[in-house]
Amino acid sequence: MSRIGRLPIKIPSGVTVAVKDGSVAIKGPKGTLSRAVPDFVAVQVQGGEVTVSRADDSQAARERHGLVRTLVNNMVTGVSTGFEKKLEIVGVGYKAEVQGRKLVMALGFSHPIEYPLPQGIDVKVEKNVLAVAGADKEQVGQIAANIRGFRPPDSYKGKGIRYLGEQVRLKPGKAGAGAAK
């Protein structure tokens, strides 16, 4: 039995969970999320809890038992409190601002980078810190990774976009740069 899969998920107040036709739909103050459930796994709502059980002891059912429970738990957490990833912009002249539903960044290229924000994702910019927030954990993480991918941290000077608190190991420069005359 999966240790994670057998744990019940408590439903906070203001959140409704509906299970029908092989999918789970969860509605809360931060939005609505739905996801298909594999045939090997069953999701039930009993009282104020959601339980996930598997149909049999097949390899496929065992593999997906804990996964489905974690995905449903992330959905419940997302619609009630939401998820957030913070990115830090490091570099002289590097900046970002939100214009409507677009994130416009100046990252040292000859042109500004315009990144359209999908529905359900909010980005706030304070000084050099971007905060990507939303109800879907998977989408928040992917959008943060996409933004970081525009200018990943440089390994020589440390300039670029990095996750807040990310440690970037700097390489030493050329050994004989000042000595060769």
What are the per-10-residue average pLDDT scores of the chain (181 residues)? Answer: 87 94 94 93 92 91 92 96 96 95 95 96 95 96 97 94 94 71 50
The whole-angstrom separation of Cα 94 and Cα 18 is 45
| Residue showing tokens 């744990």 | 7
Q: May I ask the CATH class of domain 83-163?
A: alpha beta
**137-149 vs 59-80: helix crossing angle, rounded to 10:** 80
pLDDT score of 174: 83
Neighbours of 47 (CB within 10 A): 9
Q: pTM of the full predicted structure?
A: 0.88
CATH of domain 9-80: 3.90.930.12
**Start-end of CATH 3.90.930.12 domains in the chain:** 9-80, 83-163
pLDDT score of 74: 96
pLDDT score of 177: 59
pLDDT score of 176: 67
pLDDT score of 173: 83
Sheet with 9-10, side-by-side order of all strands = 9-10, 49-54, 41-46
